[in-house]
Amino acid sequence: MTSFKSLSLAAVVAWNGMLAAGNSASAQTWTQTSAPTNGWGTVASSADGTKLAAVVGGKNPSPIYLSTNSGVSWTTNSVSNEVWGPIGSSTDGNILLASVADYLKTNVILISTNAGTTWISNTNVPVLGSLACSADGRKWIASAGSDGIYTSTNSGATWTSKSVPNGFWTAVASSADGSKLVAAMTTNLASYAFQIYVSRDSGITWNPTAAPSLTWVSLASSADGTKLVATAYVTAYTSAAIYTSADSGTNWMLRSASAYHWTSVASSADGNKLIAAANTQPLYVSTNAGNIWTPAISPSVAWQAVASSADGNKLVAIDASSRGGIWISQTTPTPSLNLAPTNGNVALSWIVPSTNFVLQQSPDLSTWVDMTNPPALNLTNLQDEVTLPLNNGCSFYRLKTP
């Protein structure tokens, strides 16, 4: 079905005779994919939500599962089965890192640069517990428990220990360019003294934030690293909660989500669309940067991890129960077309959509022509961009599904 952008006055942005439009996404429902039933551990997604990678949790060796069609069908990797820990993906889904479970005290990760077709084993690494990477898949951050924080600038080939306070480091997240990092740690496991730290120089220096001392288990970041979200798990000593920050971690605000056993959170590129998972609860989503959360039309199972496309319209969630599944939600994206002057030209941009869109041009809104200018991906904000010369005439632009 062909879909067009709406052109209501409330959604119109005009500049120098050019026009762009956008509207909001529709409600979501969830369906189980054809992936085998397992106790799933972690999942990763490309920016467009097409390429997915997932690993089974628990203590039984298993393969890496891959999908190139948003979870419609799944294949397994070509390397030996392992007991897997975290898995991470670059924006295009081509660079993948999978770590062997940290509780085994191994220093093994597998790296793929061709979307999982072939893998290279690397043993020159720390014992990793959580992974995040820059959009291009070159810069990685990993928690290493009591060994602190490690980073890589060459897609996981070599790793550098960062100077961080002593503690047990857990969840991590990264901006799209890898410069703004966020990580959670506990200074004392017995007293549950947890903190969230941020770095604004790719991990060279770290500073504690004002986030409360809760059992932080998952972090997510917008592409520019400005909007952060953190989920905490309930324990006998700490309460469960979801907190967000709109200033790169300087200030944190408790959000209106229920105090469930939150396990995972993911964010769209602009930080407005969020998804959070809790054990034995429905999935929860927010479309306003975490201010309001709404239960999704999903089962209440042992949700373990979630991932999101850049536009927040393709979501994936995995169930950690013994016969759990991999679930997906897909809503029709309506990307906003942004316009900005740049060096005497005009730049049109939109967040990487989870459905193919074609940029069209019209002189009078009656006849539209597909433009042949290929968009370039801006790796700092996960937006497709087309730069055009200014002219004296009037031009209108829109995005259309082919």
> How many C-beta neighbours within 10 Å does residue 73 have?
12
> At 102, is the secondary structure helix, strand, or coil?
helix
- In this prediction, residue 26 carries a pLDDT of 42
CATH 2.130.10.10 domain span(s) along the chain: 31-330
Give the pLDDT mean for 37-48.
97
Q: Is the pLDDT of residue 205 over 60?
A: yes
DSSP state of 4: B
Q: Is the pLDDT of residue 286 over 90?
A: yes
What is the C-alpha to C-alpha distance for residues 303 and 296, in angstroms, rounded to an integer? 13
Residue 12 or residue 94, greater confidence: 94
Task: Please report, rounded to a whole number, the percentage of residues in the chain having pLDDT higher than 90.
Answer: 74
At residue 254 the predicted structure's pLDDT band, cuts being 50, 70 and 90, is very high
At residue 190 the predicted structure's pLDDT band, cuts being 50, 70 and 90, is low
- CA distances from residue 327 to 97, 196, 333 in whole angstroms, order as listed: 22, 30, 19
- In this prediction, residue 191 carries a pLDDT of 61
- In this prediction, residue 15 carries a pLDDT of 32
> At 312, is the secondary structure helix, strand, or coil?
coil
What is the C-alpha to C-alpha distance for residues 308 and 354, in angstroms, rounded to an integer? 10
Q: Is the pLDDT of residue 1 over 50?
A: no
Token pair, residue 27, equals 């409600």
Phi/psi of residue 207, each to 5°?
Answer: -135, 140
Which pLDDT tens digit goes with each residue over 171-181? 999 999 999 99
301 DSSP β-pair partners: 281
Burial group, residue 377, by CB count within 10 angstroms (0-12, 13-18, 19+): middle
Residue length of the chain? 402
Which pLDDT tens digit goes with each residue over 93-136? 999 999 998 777 788 999 999 999 999 999 988 888 999 999 99
Q: Is the pLDDT of residue 12 over 50?
A: no
What count of Cα atoms within 13 Å lies in the side-chain half-sphere of residue 385?
16
Fold of 9-23+334-400: Immunoglobulin-like (2.60.40)
Give residue for tokens 């200074």.
187
At residue 56 the predicted structure's pLDDT band, cuts being 50, 70 and 90, is very high
> At 104, is the secondary structure helix, strand, or coil?
helix
- In this prediction, residue 158 carries a pLDDT of 95
Give the pLDDT mean for 11-33.
50
| Second CATH level (architecture) for the domain 31-330 | 7 Propeller (2.130)
Q: Is the pLDDT of residue 189 over 70?
A: no
Quote the radius of gyration of the chain (alpha carbons, Å): 21
Instruction: Please tell me the pTM assigned to this model.
Output: 0.90
- In this prediction, residue 233 carries a pLDDT of 86
- In this prediction, residue 273 carries a pLDDT of 97
346 DSSP β-pair partners: 341, 388
Per the CB < 8 A criterion, the answer to whether 348 and 31 are in contact is: no
Give the pLDDT mean for 225-244.
89
Which of 25-39, 77-91, 285-299, 337-351 has the lowest average pLDDT? Answer: 25-39
Closest CA to 56 of 329, 328, 318, 327: 318
Tell me how far apart the 2 most distant CA atoms of the chain are, in Å.
69
Per the CB < 8 A criterion, the answer to whether 292 and 285 are in contact is: no
Give the pLDDT mean for 198-212.
96
- In this prediction, residue 24 carries a pLDDT of 38
CATH 2.60.40 domain span(s) along the chain: 9-23+334-400
Which of 25-34, 78-87, 339-348 has the lowest average pLDDT? Answer: 25-34
Which of 18-22, 128-132, 314-318 has the lowest average pLDDT? Answer: 18-22
- The mean of the pLDDT values for the chain is 89
Q: Which residues contact 20 (CB under 8 A, 6 or more apart)?
A: 12, 13, 14, 336, 337, 338, 339, 348, 397, 398
At residue 22 the predicted structure's pLDDT band, cuts being 50, 70 and 90, is very low
Q: Is the pLDDT of residue 271 over 80?
A: yes
Give the pLDDT mean for 30-42.
96
